[in-house]
Amino acid sequence: MKINPIYGFRNNCMFINRSRQKLHGGAVLAAKSSNQSLFEKNKRDSVVNGSNAVYVEKLFSKWSRDPGSVNASWNAYFGGKASTHNLPQPKSRKSSQSLEESLSGGGGKGGTLGGGSGGGKAPTIQGPNADWKYIDDHLVVQAIIRAYQTRGHLAADLDPLGIVGPTGSSLSPENKKVQATKAVLRQHYYYTFNDLNAVFKLPYTTLIGGDEQFLPLQEILDRLERVYCGHIGVEYMMITSLYKCHWIRQHFEKPGAIDFKPDDKKLILERLTRSTGFENFLAKKFISEKRFGIEGCDILIPAMKEIVDESSRLGVESIFIGMAHRGRLNVLSNVCRKPIADILTQFHGIKAMDPGSGDVKYHLGVFTDRQNRQSNKRIRITVVANPSHLEFVNPVVLGKARAEMFQRGDINGDKVLPIILHGDASFCGQGIVFESIHMSELPAYTTYGTIHIVVNNQVGFTTDPRFSRSSRYCTDVARVLNAPIFHVNADDPEACIHCARVAAKWRAKFHKDVVIDLVGYRRNGHNEADEPMFTQPLMYQRIRKLKPVTVTYAEKLVREGVIKMDDYTAMVSGYEKICNEAFEESKKNESFKYSDWLDSPWPGFFQGRDRLKMCPTGVSVKVLEHIGNIYCAPPPEERNFVVHKGILRILGQRRKMLQDRIADWSLGEAFAFGTLLKDGIHVRVSGQDVERGTFSHRHHVLHHQKEDKVKYNPLQYLYPDQAKYDICNSSLSECGVLGFDLGYSMASPNTLVIWEAQFGDFANTAQPIFDTFLCSGETKWVRQTGLVVLLPHSMEGMGPEHSSGRIERFLQLSDDDPDVYPDTSDCDFVARQIIATNWIVTNLTTPANLFHALRRQVSGGFRKPLINFAPKSVLRHPMARSPFRDFNECSAFQRIIPETGEAGLKPECVKKLVFCSGKVYYDLIKERDDHEQNDTVAIVRIEQICPFPYDLITKQLELYKDAELIWAQEEHKNQGAWSYVQARFDTTILNFQKDTRCVTYHGRPPNSASSTGNKVQHYNEYNDIMNGIFGKLTEANKQRLADQIKAQQDRALKESAASYSKSKKEKVKKTEKKDDKSKQASGADDKKKTKSKKDEKSMKAASGKSAKDAKKKMKKAATPADEAAPAPKSAGMRSAPAAKPKPSRKAEPAKDDNQPQSSQKSKKPGKDDKPDK
Ligand SMILES: Cc1ncc(C[n+]2csc(CCOP(=O)(O)OP(=O)(O)O)c2C)c(N)n1
């Protein structure tokens, strides 16, 4: 059907009526309201109305045959040339066809809606009679507006160098712009308008009209062009919230949105003058010094200042900045207002007065607290110290900001703002960027919006963007944020400041991230000593011709009459004078302190405190009982909280432990947290699946089994005035989350922050955080942290990537000297030794020691990171339990746990003294028992490996002076603690002059992998270690073990059968009761018969089944919930067939986390409830 273009405007009345006749229901109703108003308007205004429609139609058909046959004005009208603002504008058939063609795939045969393929056979749908041309025109205008909104940024003039643009560098910038815009439009709409003066109604989805509802097409295009394809490219249409999109339009589309008053312009120029002046001054005074100047992106400083001012006005009181080298000194001076003299002192090569290695000047942190002149409010600014590793400071900044929010009770981030600066190459290149921004909406990690600024100088060291990213923009990684990205030409100061202001407002309004991409250039090489022409010759030819933005902006303001040239030269010389004076002052400084560059001052923490005094960590049993009673109880009745059956069983087992005054790992940990919370220490535990615990041992967060998202965390309800307890499952990130929690731990010394790896093996994806922050942060930046890292570690035959937290690496990073025997006579030796070391490394074996170690973290006058190799199977090992007395006031952390068994009673009879650490201890005592060598082999656990307990080891050497010395480890020789302890044993023995012994190694041979994945090999290796220490089992040993196993099996069989028949009886009783009560269901008797037959059968099978259950139960003390979790306890290792590999157990959903699957049906009381003594 060919649509007569006249129909619509000929008679809107007809259009409506026809529509009404042909359409029914929703379509009519939808069309009705919008067309009704159009109709009303045209009826009033139009020259065509119901009374003359027939006349006009006749004229039109005449004109169609011969345009000259009608009056010139009608000719102009039908030809679309008339300028009648009152009339809907007809367009030529040609243009209409081109649209139809484009919509129908170029066929131009028009008339069918719905894209019919033609060919005459397919039925065509007749569209209603309407002024389709008129509608199409409006739709196309809407589409064009939308195209600009969506893709206008692609054609924006962002590059001050004029190199980057959709059409390449061969065109002049003007031409390029035009071409680019057309490219944007043509990309989607092969449609041209004949009359650019035609007036169109603006849709509500644009605000370019301001108060105007109608604009001529040309004006619409001009305005869109200015808003979207000028010096700002706003990327926001991917935001899912229409309200937020509208907000963005209000700030960019509205006429006059980017208007600066003369005073604002002067302020921008003043700040630019400082930015450029600072770099010029350093360049002049320190010609050969690296400073990673900001020249080419000078606007960064005024933009940051604008964010600070605006945010301060909007209520922000504390800002955390993370940034790399580029422009850092400038930021410290001109944004944070660190005195210039202090900065220049760093250039003079002066020695620091305090210990530590220090860091290069463009890595140091800063903390300032001052009055903001624009808002007249106080504001704190922190620039977080960072390593060379680009972008790795990001999560640290976020964690610090989040912790500050917590400290201030700032629940929405109204008072605390993180700002992170990025380089263009690093922003798109480093995975940590994604890991960090991906936390932005996670409840326990959000900072309620971060402002990101990319200092985009369009080159990464020497690499062009086309070789450093696949994405169009370096910011594309941030599209995941569902937040706006403002690309802006860094040589347009006002555009940049506008973006900065809108970003600050956005963050304050929506508490979401926002990105500013400052597209500039790098006036010098990567650093000031670099020759950029080696690699970017053409780019630098252009750069050399460019005037600095400060100059061009000053010239612009002179042209506008805002300032005179003299004003500008006065600004420049005024700032130069300030710098010169600061330079003279800096020369007077003879020394400086690293601590002057501290980014995390802990006011009041260090003052008047005896750093060496470690507070006791034991607590009264009453407190333990109070905490235990709440921790081990289901939620209070009034909550009507439905708890999972398995959890109820676990809670029951925990209560049993309370009665027996004994604690397993979970209880020991809960005691540590609970007692700290009681003391007002905020505790935060973070990591993958920490709420339940990877090995299902923790269960701190209970989930209502009937209601979604209803949870209960007993540790939050211990005391009315307790500190806050947070335990949060993290995203599947190690580097990002560890960095975040490290930052969190730095905010306050009175917080215990724990990051737990799922398995220690995965912690190496966070290696830069360990290397550059955790192990060396204090020495580089005088910055302390008491962060605890829990790394599940131990060889359980579960494969190379589920076995090792890489103890050796953490020990190698420890900075205590292996060759120096310390002065152990000092009564403060323990504290002094820890203070002198960069971190503590432990491999703990008892819940009580974990309790004391965690409490010790916040007990002294200093903070030190703790790396603890957390257990896996030992979490449920029946022997890994501590009596309450090991937690009481008389107890303390044990750096070593000496032998307390038979061998310890008669040390003179001991032939072998075995030192070990961690889970292998439980293997060793089992084997010693099997080998019946309890009186001749002493086993000593080194719980704190670093700093090495020289004093206590010496005592052991003295005690067992005739024993052969052995180091036993389950790890391979090139791994584990061996290389660390070997040197320190030697130093200890050397110091213990009478001794000529040396420690021999007993463990797995060297290996490049951390573990085998083959069970047989695993057991064989295990047997080799044990045989090496204890020799092979004698015949007598074997007979004894066989007898033991038999006895155990018999016992278990009896118990199982007894409990089975008991539970069966109970069930029968219950069923009978039920049947008596209800007396219903006619078929009930039949069912009962079948059931009792089944029962008979299963009773018969019971004895056999119970025996199997019992066997299984003996093999496994615990069944971890994860497939890759610990294997059966080592007791079963010897009995494992050597030649036939045991098929690896498939992951089974843990029905009962504390019991082996096989024992569930028997519902026996947990065998684990009592220590296996
Ligand atoms: C993780 C990391 N890899 C490599 C480097 C070495 N490096 C220092 S600066 C730089 C280029 C950075 O480019 P960009 O992010 O664009 O920042 P710019 O220096 O241009 O400001 C590189 C690769 C580093 N510091 N950190």
Ligand 1 atom index nearest CA of 389: 26
Ligand 1 centroid to residue 390 C-alpha, Å = 6
* Substitution candidate for ligand 1 out of 326, 362, 389, 390 with most atoms within 8 A of CB: 390
Parts of the chain with a pLDDT under 50: 1-51, 53, 81-120, 166-169, 1081-1173
Handedness of CA 884, 889, 895, 900 (dihedral sign): negative
Going by alpha carbons, the residue nearest to atom 17 of ligand 1 is: 423
What is the separation, in whole angstroms, between the first and last Cα of the chain? 94
* Substitution candidate for ligand 1 out of 291, 426, 458 with most atoms within 8 A of CB: 426
Question: Cβ contacts of residue 1022 below 8 Å, gap of 6+?
Answer: 795, 923, 970, 1130, 1133
Cβ contact 449:412 at 8 Å: no
Which two three-digit tokens encode residue 5?
């273009």
In the block, residue with structure tokens 């009745």: 637
The predicted structure's pLDDT at residue 1075: 64
Give the amino acid at 215: L
Going by alpha carbons, the residue nearest to atom 26 of ligand 1 is: 389
Which two three-digit tokens encode residue 80?
């679309």
- Please give the sequence-ordered ranges of beta strands (E in DSSP) within 275-376, or none if there are none: 318-322, 366-372
Ligand 1 centroid to residue 524 C-alpha, Å = 15
Ligand 1 atom index nearest CA of 392: 1
Which two three-digit tokens encode residue 1164?
């026996």
Ligand 1 atom index nearest CA of 429: 15
Going by alpha carbons, the residue nearest to atom 18 of ligand 1 is: 423
DSSP string for residues in 817-861: -TT----TTSTTHHHHHHHHSS-EEE---SHHHHHHHHHHTTTSS
DSSP string for residues in 910-967: --EEEEE-TTHHHHHHHHHHHTT-TTTEEEEEESEEES--HHHHHHHHHHTTTSEEEE
Ligand 1 atom index nearest CA of 456: 16
Ligand 1 centroid to residue 387 C-alpha, Å = 12
Q: For 374-397, how does the pLDDT look when each residue is reduced to its tens digit (9 = 90+)?
A: 999 999 999 999 999 999 999 999
Closest by CA position to 1168, among listed 1118, 1123, 1105 = 1118
Ligand 1 centroid to residue 884 C-alpha, Å = 54
Cβ contact 707:638 at 8 Å: no
The predicted structure's pLDDT at residue 1167: 35
Ligand 1 centroid to residue 275 C-alpha, Å = 22
Question: Cβ contacts of residue 291 below 8 Å, gap of 6+?
Answer: 279, 282, 283, 329, 362, 527, 528
Task: Determine the distance from the C-alpha atom of residue 357 to the mean position of all C-alpha atoms in its chain, rounded to a whole number.
Answer: 30
CA distances from 744 to 245, 690, 839 (A): 33, 17, 18
Q: For 789-843, how does the pLDDT look when each residue is reduced to its tens digit (9 = 90+)?
A: 999 999 998 899 999 999 999 999 999 999 999 999 988 999 999 999 999 999 9
**pTM (2 d.p.):** 0.83
Q: Enumerate the H helices of 286-392 as residue ranges.
A: 300-313, 328-334, 340-345
Ligand 1 atom index nearest CA of 390: 26
Report how far residue 708's alpha carbon sits from residue 714's, in angstroms, rounded to the nearest whole number. 18
> Which residues does ligand 1 sit against, CB inside 6 Å?
326, 388-390, 423-426, 430, 455, 457, 459-461, 526
Give the CA count within 13 Å in the CB-facing half-sphere of 31. Answer: 21
Ligand 1 atom index nearest CA of 424: 16
Packing angle of the helix pair 173-188, 217-229 (nearest 10 deg): 110
Torsion angle, CA of 260/266/271/273, rounded to 10 degrees? 130
H helix or E strand, kind and range, residue 1093: helix 1084-1115
Ligand 1 centroid to residue 320 C-alpha, Å = 21
Going by alpha carbons, the residue nearest to atom 12 of ligand 1 is: 460
Going by alpha carbons, the residue nearest to atom 15 of ligand 1 is: 423
* Substitution candidate for ligand 1 out of 461, 517, 527 with most atoms within 8 A of CB: 461
In the block, residue with structure tokens 């939308």: 146
